[in-house]
Amino acid sequence: MKVGKVFMLIGLVVLVLSLAACEVSFSTANIGDAWMSNDEAGKNRTTVFAPDEVFYAQVNLRNAPDDTKLKAVWTAVEAESVEPNYVINETEFVSGSGQVLFNLSNTNPWPAGKYKVDIYLNDKVAKTLEFEVR
């Protein structure tokens, strides 16, 4: 009977040590809301932009530790004189909970067409915002 308890104790110790050696990452970070706007403050929500406007992507990040990674990938999905699904720019940001602002501007007018911005939360697409330029 003592031998069985010894093996069970050894097995338990091995299990605890192997779990301790594993790196476990769990985050409750999430995107509470995300929207496009044509103003930095995010008050003018829109999905239609003029060719001379700056694109603003507003992200409300919740339950996020200070080292939470966000990334915005801006894509011209189908725009005049631009190859389909052309990635325009990528921006990474590290933040905790709160409002996060991404923006994209151009020195020339934006070509008319369809665009999107994919918002990544810790390396996974969490939200896609589609918009257009008319």
CB 74 within 8 A of CB 110: no
- Tell me the per-residue pLDDT of 73-110, one tens digit each, with 9 for 90 and over: 999 999 999 999 999 999 999 999 999 999 999 999 99
CB 119 within 8 A of CB 125: yes
Give the CB-side neighbour count of residue 71, counting CA atoms within 13 A: 11
The Cα 110–Cα 124 span in angstroms is 28
CA distance 91 to 86: 15
Task: Give all domains of the chain, ordered by start, each with its CATH number.
Answer: 28-133 (2.60.40.10)
Q: What is the pTM of this model?
A: 0.79
Written as six digits, the tokens of 3 are: 């031998």
